Structure 1
């Protein structure tokens, strides 16, 4: 979902419910004499209350202020006729079409596909394949050649062994022979998934075609899904630009030794892990299942840990060195629990074609459209070879006003289908029989129009659909207005932004920092010794050699320029040069050598530009709203507002 759609989802809060609104409802307020009803405000208030994170805005008066500002913006958008922009009309039509799909589906076929999907996410297949590439729209000659090639390769694989042939024929251009490892449902295109799950272990599938070409699959093993794992890790990455940085393998081994000495995993992760996202949480990661982590080594390590609390030995991936701890093991959820998620996945991948075909049949039945179409013989008789060269035209004596098919209340004529044939001839470069050509085109023409007719009828038939479309319609208008009026200011208001920065530059500062070395140890006595050596000016490497040994790591040093919230520093640490006292921090003890205190400095405009632009846009929007309030008069019905407050108080 892009930024525009996120904005519309969370900030388009107006829903015009044509099914329930009547002229007899109480008006809460008006904008330039256009009424806004109590029922609308209550509906929107209750719907969006959870989205308003600022507690001060949850009161009725505060929320009414938000709502009136919203209505002011919508009024301005319509006055500017943003609703007439071709881009707006196109995007709204696209959204309506996409949304309609969730309201137009064959439930029986969908349920069957969802049940099949559950079986496949509950299991995994280990397979390899050979692919002979051929384009989807390849000529019959090239298609036949590719098919014959895959048949020959299958015959060879049966005789010589699949692996032998796979490795020999792979060239990475026209033929691919790949070991795919284990995968479950939704990890491959649907046709490939079908072949893999329907082929017995040890067998080679019959040739089948996907959009990539012709395949054969060798199924090597099947197993139940390994489910889901929750782990934490400590990661150490190489820092090539830091000549003083310790080698990651040495550092991870030092950390591992501290673990074997009984120190706390989470505390060490907070102190030393280079994964900035997980370190503050003790290294903990979001749960994942097979195929979700883009690192086989990381995934295999996670699934090979047996017991909750088990810790791995240090291991390397493409991202660095890791130590992992197992927090949770969860099998595949029950069918009822993950059914909604599976439904969404089914509707997004190739399986949707099966659902579409069922929908076409259902709608044709609903609108009583006959399977027979005698007119197709006439159209086949007027198509000639020029069609395949892109130069075909309807004959001069073509009678376009003759009725062809009726969908609901809409009559389609010969002209409609004739125009469709003319427009689509550029998509038919390979010559095929005229009857087949016309029949295929008519099927697509009919399917497209029967779905379109149902989509066009939905807003009047389905209240929920109508509400959502209306919400998006207004949100889209508001986005275009805000983009043109406020958000593009970074491109056009450079002088104003600079003036705003100069007037508020004290807001934009780099906080006070320290150039420091933090020594961390589980043993307080060890740190007393370290502090003494630091005061004597001994180099860090010498201290490490003196304190640590090959078998035991008592102290680890972190050297950095640190802000107050740095993970290695204790809370409320006092920034002053010298050797600090010993602190208890993250399950260990630390002592800090502050080499220099870097004072707070005002950032340049370039350094603070992102924040300055954001603040300037907020300021500009506030001034703009004042102008709109003067331009479009808002009249509040106090009696109705009191009614709203009383009703909300009862909830």
Structure 2
């Protein structure tokens, strides 16, 4: 679906548009004959006031202009019939279904389950278990036999020890025994997780059932989870496209020696780390937990550091060479930081059954329905043996029109339930009685019908849901319109883009740059020596051999094409050929050999393509919006606007 990108790509925050729910308000303006009410404008203005960063957008006149442009675009989208497109309606329906899930849960039950889940991801359990296999639709006799077997096995473990019973009794066919190791929340089916977390260390649980059969679990140990780490790192990558670049392993080893010599980790990261996202911060990365990074080896090294301030040896991942320093250890992210994620997990997990049951109870109360099951003898009487083989059909004389139950103003007939019985047939053991089948299917059908009815009428009973749907409906229209009219320009307007670039070349400039070598050391005396050697045009390898040794790295060189913003250059560095004076930068001394100065030049279209297309689209959109204003007459009620301004000034 595209909707997850929509909120990023729409150029203005009117995607949060809130439709007025009443029509008896004063009209602020008309767009193509359509009224726009003061309440609508004020809702948008007040709702988004804290979001704007440009002070001009708080100006009512400027804001009204943007709002009017937004309404013009929506008018055009509906004129073009974009709201009638099947793809639009499919996407809107999909979004509606997804959104409805958030409005159809019992928050009290969800909160309790989320808090429980947080505790369980914060702690690990080490366990072993024995399982007596049993199918979900097993006959009553087989179920009882399996329960008796697991009960006897538990009694034996209390006498002979759990490990001995695992070894002696498991056959790999009907009885399974496993060492599970460490796990925490969401790693096992919910019933198993409950048993493990509710059993004390050294104890064995009572028998419990999952979809796999009957289990007993023995808890061997419990501990806090590994939690979260904050680290800094220095990364050196292999610059395959730069023949002059130093071997990355050699470079990382040199940096490591400088750390061991007592030089500052953060300063070295600022000078030499190839991870641009963290280098300027001294290599510090955002906190992460186990499994969050895509480099498992990096995580293992980070979690192996025991003490804050500890530094790893150089190691290699798929991204390059690293040195890691531990900054902070946290047991688990704060609850408030991961609550949303936990809610989503709970709603997808087996825990959701508890949420569903709470929803059914809530909706029954809302629609004044009782829990009494109607007489289902008729359905039991029409089922035949072919139902067990998924071949049953409604009989020709089926009493289709009789009412089975009513929700709101909707009647659900015998035919509705009969069709559900047909649709949900599955292979069953012929020992399952028809009355059990019908009762179970009725409960499923009733709950399903109840939820579907409520979802279909959600706008009527929940104004917040109605508002959000309206926001998305208009936002989706605007997205389609902008995509077809403006954003796809790069695919169809290549000649116009070329012409736009030709007319605006001076706006797309490569800044002045230098071809340079930068020598860095914590010792000013060392750099004086390096500066003289550079003046003599001695090669970098020879200088390294003279200044550095196997045990000590006194200087590190950075070479290549650099602009004024390069991390190794101090702010305000003057571009001048030759050897610079020695200066201090990032807690170290540096000297720069400028080999050549590359003048400011115009970028080619290929080099500036992203910026050119963006600027071209902005210009095209401005012209297009102006044409819409000519197409759809905009009439602003000046007296009402004056009142609006007065009200806003009072806020």
Q: In which range does the TM-score fall when normalised by the shorter chain?
A: 0.7 to 0.9
3-state SS, counterpart of residue 406 of structure 1: strand
Q: Write out per-residue CA displacement over residues 581-608 of structure 1, whole angstroms, 9 at most, x where no aligned residue.
A: 3232222122222334444444444444
> CA offset at residue 571 of structure 1?
1.9
3-state SS, counterpart of residue 100 of structure 1: helix
> CA offset at residue 232 of structure 1?
1.6
TM-score of the two chains, using structure 2 as the length reference: 0.83
Aligned mates of 1:161, 1:264 — CA distance in 2:
57
Aligned mates of 2:167, 2:227 — CA distance in 1:
29
Specify the alignment match of 1:229 in structure 2.
Answer: 229
2:2 equivalent to 1:3: no
Q: Write out per-residue CA displacement over residues 304-350 of structure 1, whole angstroms, 9 at most, x where no aligned residue.
A: 55655x13132425344433333334455776887666445433543
Q: 1:311·1:323 contact (CA, 8 Å) conserved in 2?
A: no
Higher mean C-alpha displacement, 86-95 vs 288-297? 288-297
Specify the alignment match of 2:277 in structure 1.
Answer: 277
Specify the alignment match of 1:16 in structure 2.
Answer: 19
Specify the alignment match of 1:460 in structure 2.
Answer: 460
3-state SS, counterpart of residue 530 of structure 1: helix
2:315 equivalent to 1:316: yes
Aligned mates of 2:188, 2:389 — CA distance in 1:
37
Specify the alignment match of 1:62 in structure 2.
Answer: 62
3-state SS, counterpart of residue 274 of structure 1: coil
> CA offset at residue 423 of structure 1?
4.2
Specify the alignment match of 2:95 in structure 1.
Answer: 95
Specify the alignment match of 2:620 in structure 1.
Answer: 620
Specify the alignment match of 1:172 in structure 2.
Answer: none
3-state SS, counterpart of residue 280 of structure 2: helix
Higher mean C-alpha displacement, 107-116 vs 503-512? 503-512
Q: 1:123·1:222 contact (CA, 8 Å) conserved in 2?
A: yes
Residues 414 and 43 of structure 1: CA distance in aligned 2, closer, same or farther (over 3 Å): same
> CA offset at residue 294 of structure 1?
4.6
Specify the alignment match of 1:502 in structure 2.
Answer: 502
Structure 2 matches for 1:511-522, cutoff 5 A?
511-522=511-522
Structure 2 residue ranges without an equivalent (≥5): none
Specify the alignment match of 1:592 in structure 2.
Answer: 592
Q: Write out per-residue CA displacement over residues 256-297 of structure 1, whole angstroms, 9 at most, x where no aligned residue.
A: 332333332222111111222111211111122344345555
3-state SS, counterpart of residue 51 of structure 1: coil
Aligned mates of 2:215, 2:243 — CA distance in 1:
50
What do you get for the CA RMSD once the two structures are aligned? 4.2
Specify the alignment match of 1:544 in structure 2.
Answer: 544
3-state SS, counterpart of residue 475 of structure 1: helix
> CA offset at residue 515 of structure 1?
3.0
> CA offset at residue 178 of structure 1?
8.9
3-state SS, counterpart of residue 255 of structure 2: helix
> CA offset at residue 120 of structure 1?
1.5
2:46 equivalent to 1:46: yes
Aligned length: 632
Aligned mates of 1:165, 1:551 — CA distance in 2:
61
> CA offset at residue 541 of structure 1?
1.7
Structure 1 residue ranges without an equivalent (≥5): 170-174
Q: 1:301·1:312 contact (CA, 8 Å) conserved in 2?
A: no
Q: 1:17·1:466 contact (CA, 8 Å) conserved in 2?
A: no
Specify the alignment match of 1:407 in structure 2.
Answer: 407
> CA offset at residue 647 of structure 1?
2.2
Residues 361 and 323 of structure 1: CA distance in aligned 2, closer, same or farther (over 3 Å): same
Aligned mates of 2:179, 2:600 — CA distance in 1:
57
Specify the alignment match of 2:265 in structure 1.
Answer: 265
> CA offset at residue 192 of structure 1?
5.4
3-state SS, counterpart of residue 396 of structure 1: coil
Q: Write out per-residue CA displacement over residues 84-123 of structure 1, whole angstroms, 9 at most, x where no aligned residue.
A: 3233233323323332333322244223313322321332
Q: 1:132·1:176 contact (CA, 8 Å) conserved in 2?
A: no
TM-score of the two chains, using structure 1 as the length reference: 0.83
Specify the alignment match of 1:528 in structure 2.
Answer: 528
Residues 516 and 199 of structure 1: CA distance in aligned 2, closer, same or farther (over 3 Å): farther
Aligned mates of 1:193, 1:278 — CA distance in 2:
39
> CA offset at residue 227 of structure 1?
4.4
Specify the alignment match of 2:125 in structure 1.
Answer: 125
Aligned mates of 2:505, 2:177 — CA distance in 1:
60
Higher mean C-alpha displacement, 567-576 vs 40-49? 567-576
Structure 2 matches for 1:360-439, cutoff 5 A?
360-374=360-374, 376-384=376-384, 392-425=392-425, 428-429=426-427, 433=432, 434-439=434-439
